[in-house]
């Protein structure tokens, strides 16, 4: 670990990003629903500001921010560390959560004069808990603390699924809960093994101590598979489609854009930081094979769906697959192109986060406006709500990988790395995945913008401001396309030398 920086500013920033959302929950409990609007109005901008400031400080200093809580050095004490990828993740998380909050403001408001409703109270508490848990995941340096953050994330995410009530959503939520708990168990078993073998769970210390031996492999496999269940990588995706399609639009957006990425982030920490030796095994190839299967399988399933929200959910199954292509490409033995793959993988994550959040919000607006989300009955609906379908289209173009969009830059970088490293199979999968995505996006857009047999009618008017929020997120996905096609500096901050090398 680099020289510990315990300056007051670092401590203040890193602690606030964890604490501020929790303060919001506590205030809500203490003051009650009447002040909900005011609490949100204070907490969301404040947390956003702190996240953005942390990112700015990390970027401008060019090195990780580290804070040792209470002055106790790890492994005894707790350290918070924001490197380049944590800073970027925190910023993306803050932007998306705040956008979703603005979107959900109308739907989850406490009715004035009426008795306090349960849904708004629960929704805001869950969103804030999610935010705090995600930030804890991004900042944690110790595998057990990360376990705690992961549990918090799961327990905040599951109720979001069944917020609307109804048998189907409760079933979906239970499915999610049970499977996620299985995952937690596996992860915990892995950490126990590691602790028994090496006497520490601190990531930096572990990286120095782990040996290539049986206990390491078993622990790594258990923890990875545990995290894969929460990331819903094929074939462990059983819970995702019903859960993400059943949640209210704002919830789906956060679940698909951020929550599955939380556990993915942890896999990256485990493989790249705690056990970089895994890169010399066939492990990365196996992960990428599952990713490739996810891309093909999820895209075909998305093409087959009749309901818009399920289509978007299966598209998430596919898009998660791309993230795992990063492992063989960024851990390759020949290192001249690894940093390109590293940037490409993260850009895929960020642009998918923006695009998918926009898409779920748009799908929610469409379902609200038309009273249904049957794709076959969308004929001509694009002319009724052009902005919403534009949102869907823009986000879709990013998923296909059409320039200018973050999806295009990500694909370009991943493709470059795979052909330059001679790993052609992943290039083929990326291209076929793009084609299939084109299929399911144009299927929706084609229906929406050409007249059908009977014209759809707007049953519930939707407010322009919600449409604008969804549209802005899609524009965010497009703006990521202005990223230069080279390794991004910020994502290299705090990386070990293995990824520090740039293209010669």
Contact residues: another protein, CB under 8 A:
179, 182, 186, 212, 217-218, 220-222, 224-225, 228-229, 235-238, 278, 280-283, 285-286, 290, 297, 300-301, 303-304, 340, 383, 386, 400-404, 411-412, 415-416, 419-420, 427, 431-432, 434-435, 438-439, 442, 446, 449-451, 481-482, 484-486, 503-504
Closest approach, Cβ 69 to another protein, in A, equals 33
Nearest to 211 by CA among 197, 225, 222, 221: 197
Instruction: For another protein, give the closer residue by CB, 26 or 286.
Output: 286
Bond into 235 cis (ω within 30)? yes
Cα 72 to the center of its chain, rounded Å = 31
Closest approach, Cβ 139 to another protein, in A, equals 27
Whole-angstrom distance, CA of residue 329 vs CA of residue 33: 50
Cα 211 to the center of its chain, rounded Å = 31
Instruction: For another protein, give the closer residue by CB, 41 or 282.
Output: 282
Instruction: For another protein, give the closer residue by CB, 128 or 255.
Output: 255
Q: Environment class of residue 166 by beta-carbon count within 10 Å: exposed (0-12), middle (13-18) or buried (19+)?
A: exposed
N- to C-terminal Cα separation, the chain: 27
Closest approach, Cβ 462 to another protein, in A, equals 20
Q: How far is CA 446 from CA 189, 213, 439, 476, in A?
A: 49, 55, 10, 24
Number of neighbours of residue 53 by Cβ within 10 angstroms? 16
Spatial contact of 203 and 142, defined as CB atoms under 8 Å apart: yes
Closest approach, Cβ 231 to another protein, in A, equals 12
Closest approach, Cβ 117 to another protein, in A, equals 34
Instruction: For another protein, give the closer residue by CB, 227 or 353.
Output: 227
- Contacts of residue 79, Cβ cutoff 8 Å, sequence gap at least 6: 1, 4, 66, 67, 68, 69, 73, 141, 142, 202
Number of neighbours of residue 424 by Cβ within 10 angstroms? 10
Q: How far is CA 389 from CA 93, 327, 351, 473, in A?
A: 24, 35, 18, 13
Instruction: For another protein, give the closer residue by CB, 53 or 293.
Output: 293
Instruction: For another protein, give the closer residue by CB, 141 or 270.
Output: 270
Instruction: For another protein, give the closer residue by CB, 212 or 371.
Output: 212
- Cα four-point dihedral sign 277, 282, 286, 289: positive
Closest approach, Cβ 77 to another protein, in A, equals 32
Closest approach, Cβ 374 to another protein, in A, equals 18
Q: Which residues of 459-476 are buried (b: 16+ CB within 10 A; e: fewer)?
A: eeebeeebbebbbbbbbb
- Contacts of residue 472, Cβ cutoff 8 Å, sequence gap at least 6: 99
Whole-angstrom distance, CA of residue 374 vs CA of residue 367: 9
Q: Which residues of 203-236 are buried (b: 16+ CB within 10 A; e: fewer)?
A: bbbbbeebeeeeebeebbebbbbbbbbbbbbbeb
Instruction: For another protein, give the closer residue by CB, 63 or 486.
Output: 486
Instruction: For another protein, give the closer residue by CB, 22 or 181.
Output: 181
Closest approach, Cβ 314 to another protein, in A, equals 9
Closest approach, Cβ 43 to another protein, in A, equals 34
Instruction: For another protein, give the closer residue by CB, 11 or 438.
Output: 438
Closest approach, Cβ 435 to another protein, in A, equals 5
Number of neighbours of residue 419 by Cβ within 10 angstroms? 13
Closest approach, Cβ 504 to another protein, in A, equals 7
Nearest to 99 by CA among 485, 402, 373, 476: 476
Closest approach, Cβ 426 to another protein, in A, equals 12
Instruction: For another protein, give the closer residue by CB, 140 or 434.
Output: 434
Give the H/E segment covering residue 81: strand 79-82
Backbone φ, ψ for residue 109 (5° rounding): -110, 150
Instruction: For another protein, give the closer residue by CB, 159 or 439.
Output: 439
Spatial contact of 425 and 432, defined as CB atoms under 8 Å apart: no
């Amino acid at each position: 670990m680099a020289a510990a920086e315990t300056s007051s500013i670092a401590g203040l920033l890193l602690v606030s990003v964890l604490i501020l959302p929790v303060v919001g929950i506590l205030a809500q409990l203490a003051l009650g629903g009447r002040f909900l609007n005011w609490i949100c109005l204070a907490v969301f901008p404040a947390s956003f500001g702190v996240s953005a400031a942390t990112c700015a400080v990390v970027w401008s200093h060019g090195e990780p921010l580290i804070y040792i809580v209470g002055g106790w050095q790890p492994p005894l004490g707790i350290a918070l560390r924001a490197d380049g990828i944590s800073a970027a993740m925190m910023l993306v998380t803050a932007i998306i959560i705040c956008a979703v909050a603005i979107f959900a403001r109308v739907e989850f408001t406490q009715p004035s004069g009426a008795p306090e409703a349960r849904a708004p109270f629960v929704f805001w508490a869950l969103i804030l808990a999610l935010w705090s848990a995600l930030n804890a995941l991004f900042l944690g340096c110790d595998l057990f603390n990360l376990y705690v953050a992961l549990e918090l994330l799961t327990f905040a995410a599951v109720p979001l699924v069944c917020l609307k009530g109804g048998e189907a959503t409760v079933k979906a939520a239970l499915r999610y809960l049970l499977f996620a708990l299985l995952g937690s168990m596996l992860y915990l078993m892995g950490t126990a093994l590691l602790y028994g073998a090496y006497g520490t769970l601190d990531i930096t210390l572990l990286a120095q101590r782990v040996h290539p031996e049986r206990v390491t492999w078993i622990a790594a496999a258990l923890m990875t598979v545990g995290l894969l269940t929460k990331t819903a990588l094929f074939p462990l995706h059983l819970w995702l489609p019903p859960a993400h399609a059943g949640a209210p639009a704002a919830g789906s957006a956060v679940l698909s854009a951020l929550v599955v990425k939380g556990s993915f982030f942890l896999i990256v920490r485990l493989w790249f930081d705690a056990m970089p030796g895994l890169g010399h095994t066939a492990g990365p190839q196996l992960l990428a094979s599952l990713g490739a299967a996810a891309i093909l399988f999820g895209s075909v399933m998305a093409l087959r769906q009749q309901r818009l929200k399920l289509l978007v959910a299966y598209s998430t199954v596919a898009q998660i697959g791309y993230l795992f292509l990063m492992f063989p490409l960024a851990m390759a033995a020949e290192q001249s192109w690894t940093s390109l793959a590293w940037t490409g993988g993260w850009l895929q994550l960020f642009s998918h986060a923006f695009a998918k959040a926009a898409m779920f919000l748009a799908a929610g607006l469409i379902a609200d406006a038309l009273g249904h989300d049957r794709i076959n009955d969308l004929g001509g609906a694009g002319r009724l709500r052009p902005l919403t379908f534009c949102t869907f289209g823009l986000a879709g173009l990013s998923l296909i990988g059409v320039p200018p969009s973050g999806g295009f830059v990500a694909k370009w970088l991943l493709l470059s790395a795979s052909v330059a490293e001679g790993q052609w199979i992943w290039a083929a999968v990326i291209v076929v995945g793009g084609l299939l995505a084109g299929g399911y996006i144009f299927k929706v857009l084609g229906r929406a913008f050409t007249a059908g047999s009977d014209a759809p009618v707007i049953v519930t008017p939707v407010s322009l401001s919600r449409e604008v929020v969804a549209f802005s997120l899609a524009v965010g996905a497009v703006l990521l396309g202005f990223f230069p096609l080279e390794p991004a500096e910020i994502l290299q901050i705090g990386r070990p030398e293995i990824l520090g090398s740039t293209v010669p």
